[in-house]
């Protein structure tokens, strides 16, 4: 299984003959190495409805006939755009042909802003626990630090975690270090930083501060083998 990072919160998982994208914010993401018109995907997983996470979902999903797996209200909204969806919600899990998806809590917001400025409420934000080929990947989404992260660390053996460190809108590096300690992932990758001036951080400093697990700063296009 190959897991690659593509700037901001964009993650791609390639396993067998399936490709899974998480939060494909490509167009307008100056740190992303992908081109939306060329991306292939069988599934798209979304943590929440903010534009910098939904990104190019509609275009990619339609072109690839991909299934979008998202929190209920966000999935309902995207279905009105002609996208094939599977509705889920926090605490729920489901087996798919590539593996198992479970949505977890995240403390943040969730709304999509249309081109005309109309804001559409898209339900509660989430994190995603993705279990594929016996490995568990935890994409925390956009979240503040909260104590139930300890519970997820107790419940699951997490092989790889993607943790936001940008501050201002999510956890900053100090809180993200606590989160990493609580979830006890074997490998920790910082995400959601440096895309905009207000979330500029030094990911190397974050990785050096880790007490639990191995830290890995991934440049756009970097790949890990699990």
Q: How far apart are CA 137 and CA 55, in angstroms?
A: 21
pLDDT single digits (tens) 193-208: 999 999 999 999 999 9
Domain extents in the chain: 2-215
Tens of pLDDT, residues 50-82: 999 999 999 999 999 999 999 999 999 999 999
Please provide residue 2's backbone torsions phi and psi, each rounded to the nearest 5 degrees. -110, 135
Backbone φ and ψ for 164, nearest 5 degrees, come out as: -70, 140
The CATH H-level superfamily of 2-215 is: Ribonuclease Z/Hydroxyacylglutathione hydrolase-like (3.60.15.10)
Question: Model-level pTM?
Answer: 0.97
Report the C-alpha gap between 74 and 226 in whole angstroms: 30
- Asked if the model's pLDDT at residue 213 lies above 90, the reply is no
In degrees, rounded to 5, the angle at the alpha carbon of residue 193 between the alpha carbons of residues 109 and 131 is: 70
- According to the model, what pLDDT value does residue 38 have? 97
For residue 21, pLDDT beyond 90: yes
């Amino acid at each position: 299984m190959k897991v690659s990072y593509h700037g901001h919160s964009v993650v791609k998982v390639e396993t067998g003959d399936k490709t899974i994208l998480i939060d494909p914010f490509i167009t307008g993401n100056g740190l992303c190495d992908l081109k939306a018109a060329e991306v292939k995907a069988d599934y798209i997983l979304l943590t929440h409805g903010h534009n910098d996470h939904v990104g190019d979902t509609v275009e990619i999903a339609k072109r690839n006939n991909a299934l979008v797996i998202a929190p209920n209200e966000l999935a309902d909204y995207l279905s009105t755009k002609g996208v094939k969806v599977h509705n889920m919600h926090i605490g729920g899990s489901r087996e798919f042909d590539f593996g198992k998806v479970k949505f977890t809590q995240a403390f943040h917001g969730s709304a999509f802003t249309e081109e005309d400025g109309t804001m559409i409420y898209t339900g509660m934000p989430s994190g995603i626990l993705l279990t594929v080929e016996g490995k568990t990947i935890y994409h925390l989404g956009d979240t503040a630090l909260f104590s139930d992260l300890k519970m997820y660390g107790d419940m699951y053996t997490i092989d790889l975690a993607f943790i936001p460190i940008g501050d201002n809108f999510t956890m900053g590096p100090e809180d993200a270090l606590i989160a990493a300690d609580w979830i006890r992932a074997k490998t920790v990758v910082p995400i959601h930083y440096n895309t905009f001036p207000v979330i500029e951080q030094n990911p190397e400093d974050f990785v050096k501060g880790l007490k639990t697990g191995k830290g890995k700063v991934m440049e756009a296009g970097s790949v890990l083998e699990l």
